[in-house]
Amino acid sequence: MTADEQHAVIGKAYADLKAAKDKLRALNLAAQDLGIQLSQVGNALATKPYTVGLNGEIDMPTNLGSALLFDRKIFDANRFRDLTNEIRDTMVLIQNLEHKLA
């Protein structure tokens, strides 16, 4: 392998590492957002379960106060699985690239 080819391989590995780290940051933000939403649902269920419902699927009696409505999509188990799997896969990719560049 020539020096130019080695530099190209190293440059690509650094570019791939930067892209993977950017992707991981975005995935972590998505996981944080999901966690906040699930925490809000959990807190509402723990404190005032009679006020909790899904958007468009509840008729809240006015004497019980205001409803805390959540989107049905936050309960998507496939989304949870895919997000956490992708985070793990990206972390492994970053570790492999860092090892390759060390």
DSSP string, 46-97: HH-GGGEEETTS----GGG---EEE-GGGG-HHHHHHHHHHHHHHHHHHHHH
Cβ atoms of 80 and 74 within 8 Å: the answer is no
Note the pLDDT tens digit of each residue in 22-44.
Answer: 999 999 999 999 999 999 999 99
Report pLDDT for 13. Answer: 94
Report pLDDT for 91. Answer: 97
pLDDT > 70 in the chain, percent = 98
The mean pLDDT of 9-18, rounded to a whole number, is 95
Q: Where are the domains of the chain?
A: 3-101
Note the pLDDT tens digit of each residue in 47-61.
Answer: 989 888 888 887 767
